[in-house]
């Protein structure tokens, strides 16, 4: 449980560095339509999350991620020995 809290804290810091506040409705906002993020910046966000959290996200699963909440859910469901 402690390790998941640490991962979540790092993830929140990365989201904040991209100007995404995870409180309120922004956590449910679509990256492209509502947050107006260019796909290049979305890829940068994903890369930064992978780098900071020392995980590798599968491309098949990333295709379904449309909101910050989806992305965090995906990160939290990765086995810790990844």
Considering the entire predicted model, what is its pTM? 0.87
Look at residue 46 in the predicted model and tell me its pLDDT.
96
> Which residues lie closer than 8 Å to 38 by C-beta, 6 or more apart?
none
| Domains along the sequence of the chain with CATH | 2-74 (1.10.1200.10)
Give the helix ranges, DSSP H, for the chain.
2-17, 39-53, 59-62, 68-76
Measured in Å, how far apart are the chain's first and last C-alpha atoms? Answer: 16
Contacts of residue 60, defined as CB under 8 A and 6 or more positions apart, other chains included, come to none
Q: What is the pLDDT of residues 38-68, one digit of tens each?
A: 999 999 999 999 999 999 998 888 888 999 9
Q: Could you tell me the two tokens for 66? A: 């449309």
């Amino acid at each position: 449980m402690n390790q998941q809290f640490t991962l979540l804290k790092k993830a929140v810091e990365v989201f904040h560095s991209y100007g995404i506040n995870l409180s309120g409705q922004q956590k449910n906002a679509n990256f492209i339509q509502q947050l107006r993020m260019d796909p290049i910046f979305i890829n940068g966000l994903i890369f930064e999350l992978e780098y900071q959290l020392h995980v590798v996200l599968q491309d098949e699963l990333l295709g379904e991620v449309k909101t910050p909440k989806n992305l965090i859910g995906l990160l939290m469901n990765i086995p810790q020995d990844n």
